[in-house]
Amino acid sequence: MKEALYFESLSEGSVQCSLCPCLCPISPSRHGQCGVRLNRNGKLYSMTYGRVSVEEIIPIESLPLYHFYPGSKFLLIGSMGCNIHCPFCNTWRVSQSGARARLVPPKELVNLAQAQGVAGVAFGVNEPTVYIEYILDAARHLRRAGLPAVIATNGFISEAALFDLIKAADAFIVDVKGFNDSFYQHVTGGYKDEIFRNIVSLNIKSHLEVSALIIEGHNDNEAEFEQFCRWLGQMQPAPPPLHLIRYEPAFQYKNPATEPLRMYYFQELARRILPFVYLSNMDEREGKITYCPQCKAPLIVRKKDGVKMDKLIDNQCAHCYTAIPLRRKSGVIRYD
């Protein structure tokens, strides 16, 4: 364990955690809502510092991140715990319950990544912000080694903690669970407004992509989804890429998987507003192609055997020279 950041002392040995908007008051020997931050003798501790339950080499596209280091392999790291409780979570054995883990100190994580020959490290599987102390320490070592750190998060984090993460990490994917506050509060226990506020900050200050889970009959109100897309479309300096995730039965949700036709329909709705819209969790190649927003030429084709980018010249469309917001290993993000 390691003493946590983002808390203050209360009376009678209690503390208040300020890592996320839950602002949990925690009595001695008790945990916060995430289950992994413990009040011991009037101080808050991270129980999962360096505790790694998942180590896996993945294509960066599987997070999903399509505009950051395309075609690269990353080391995916997971721990335990989550500050929201989605009944449809497909990683609930890690996020909502205990999992076997081994200790991997920050410097050892760098050595592990270098030994595997990956382009960087991605923190995900469970909610990574609940072990932010480890990420901040690891990210400093990764940066010194020239390895980017990527965060796959639900976005439910305080402004102060988010600011520290933005300085430490290189890219973010925020997974949106729904499009209204009622769904967030009553189904997941989170708050939409705080998450959407963080999306705005991340889009301005870091490389951001957004994913949205589509659960047919539960969070697929078309008017709300269109409003969400228009909100994304107004973001500066440019709208983030949007990944539509097809729901499949998991954990406590036994509803049938979202129909593919429903996913195609939502993709078309989004494409009328946003320049880059993708489909995930589907055996469908067209939804994984990056098209030029100007001339519609296919620029990045993603297949199971790799990523083809020969229609791009210096992050520009080879046909009409429209710049594509893309961060590659040797380049920077281009917006204009």
Q: What is the mean pLDDT of the chain?
A: 95
CA atoms of 135 and 328, how far apart (whole Å): 23
Average pLDDT score over residue span 15-37: 97
Q: Which domains does the chain have, with CATH numbers?
A: 2-46 (no CATH), 51-289 (3.20.20.70)
Per-residue confidence (pLDDT) for residue 11, from 0 to 100: 95
pLDDT band, residue 308 (cuts 50/70/90): very high
Per-residue confidence (pLDDT) for residue 325, from 0 to 100: 95
Q: Which two tokens stand for residue 48?
A: 């999962």
Per-residue confidence (pLDDT) for residue 285, from 0 to 100: 82
Q: Is the pLDDT of residue 332 over 60?
A: no
Contact 265, 234 (CB under 8 A): no
Q: Is the pLDDT of residue 334 over 60?
A: no
SS (H, E, C) the chain: CEECCCEEECHHHCEEECCCCCCCEECCCCECCCCCEEEECCEEEECCCCEECEEEEEEHHHCCCCCECCCCEEEEEECCCCCCCCCCCCCHHHHCCCCCCEECCHHHHHHHHHHHCCCEEEECCCCHHHHHHHHHHHHHHHHHCCCCEEEEECCCCCHHHHHHHHHHCCEEEEEECCCCHHHHHHHHCCCHHHHHHHHHHHHHHCEEEEEEEECCCCCCCHHHHHHHHHHHHCCCCCCCCEEEEECCCECCECCCCCCHHHHHHHHHHHHCCCCCEEEECCCCCHHHCEECCCCCCEEEEEECCEEECCCEECCEECCCCCECCCECCCCCCCCC
Contact 240, 191 (CB under 8 A): no
pLDDT band, residue 265 (cuts 50/70/90): very high
Average pLDDT score over residue span 230-246: 98
Q: In this structure, are strands 73-78 and 43-46 parallel, antiparallel, or unpaired?
A: unpaired
Per-residue confidence (pLDDT) for residue 96, from 0 to 100: 80
Least confident among 189-203, 222-236, 292-306: 292-306
pLDDT band, residue 330 (cuts 50/70/90): low
Q: Is the pLDDT of residue 335 over 80?
A: no
Contact 295, 319 (CB under 8 A): yes
- pTM comes to 0.95
pLDDT digits (tens, 9 = 90+) for 45-94: 999 999 999 999 999 999 999 999 999 999 999 999 999 999 999 999 88
Per-residue confidence (pLDDT) for residue 336, from 0 to 100: 29
